[in-house]
Structure 1
Amino acid sequence: MIRLAHTAQLPSAELDAVRALLEGAFADFDLPGWENTLGGMHALTFDGDDLVGHASLVQRRLLHGDRVLNTGYVEGVAVHPDHRRRGVASALMAAMEDLLPGYEVGALSATRAGAPLYAGRGWQQWRGPTFALTPAGVRRTEDDDGGVYVFPGRASLDLDGALTADWRAGDVW
């Protein structure tokens, strides 16, 4: 069973469990990565009292063509190793996708391991160049090319066009 809650509704013990799960799932998980998962809706699943899966959806702004897109951005998707390949990640993503109609588009940055899950759920790989709107201006983020996926909503998208993310600490995408 998936439980949805806003960051503000999560007790400290659950936030600590989410952070521990993410630190275990991603070797390079750091404080900015943690902060980027907060401030939105979280999907959590438990085995008894133990957190075994998490995903969050935060609001971001992406620039595409001449549009600023109100974006539901998926962060912190992780499943405990003992519970993988049991549909947990699919259930977490279904919960996130149910929230996307409130946004013009959904987006996320996928690891190689996660990309097949997202593609299989209808997320589309962004084929065009990626950028970030940094304090020093728009900068190319070519290392992120091919790793960004979008879930089309109300906005018309050219998957071969440029996509620019709003600035944030840590990984921009």
Structure 2
Amino acid sequence: AGYVEGVGVRADRRRRGHAGAMMGELERMLRGAYDVGALGTTDQATDFYAARGWKRWRGPTSALTPAGVVRTRDDDGGVLVFPTTVTVDLDGELTCDWRDGEVW
């Protein structure tokens, strides 16, 4: 999976197509190199991503840590996926790799 870390546009530059252009390129790369893309979203941005074909992950989320798989309940409902070459079960468990900071 390819993970989109963050997308942000300065407030005075919004609604000019910048985020859409950037996401278009990111989605092109996801289609060319990954089975699925994923990102953590905010309530404010969910409609933007949904209009582009991103789907809300409805199942439980987890992280693969040095101590094993650990549930990330705070992230449940806040992760979107962008299937490219596979069909995904949006109600299944989704586990990301561990990293410093916010894992999703």
**Of residues 35, 41, 48 in structure 2, which corresponds to 1:104?**
35
Runs of 4+ in structure 1 off by over 2 angstroms are none
| Secondary structure in 1 matching 2:20 | helix
* Structure 2 unaligned residues grouped into runs of 5+: none
Give 1:100 shift.
0.9
| Secondary structure in 2 matching 1:97 | helix
* 1:125-162 alpha-carbon deviations (Å, 9 max, x no partner): 00000011111111110100111000011223100011
Structure 1 partner of 2:74: 143
Q: Which has the larger radius of gyration?
A: 1
Q: Which has the higher contact order (CA 8 A, sep 6+)?
A: 2
* 1:99-136 alpha-carbon deviations (Å, 9 max, x no partner): 01211111111111111110110000000000111111
Structure 2 partner of 1:154: 85
| Secondary structure in 1 matching 2:39 | strand
Q: Which has the higher strand share?
A: 1
State the number of aligned residues. Answer: 103
Structure 2 partner of 1:130: 61
Cα root mean square deviation, aligned: 0.9
* Structure 1 unaligned residues grouped into runs of 5+: 1-70
Letter in 2 for 1:90: G
Instruction: Give the alignment's TM-score, normalised by structure 2.
Output: 0.94
Matched, 1:117 2:34: no
In structure 1, C-alpha distance between the alignment counterparts of 2:3 and 2:57, rounded to whole Å: 14
Structure 1 partner of 2:19: 89
Quote the sequence identity (%).
61
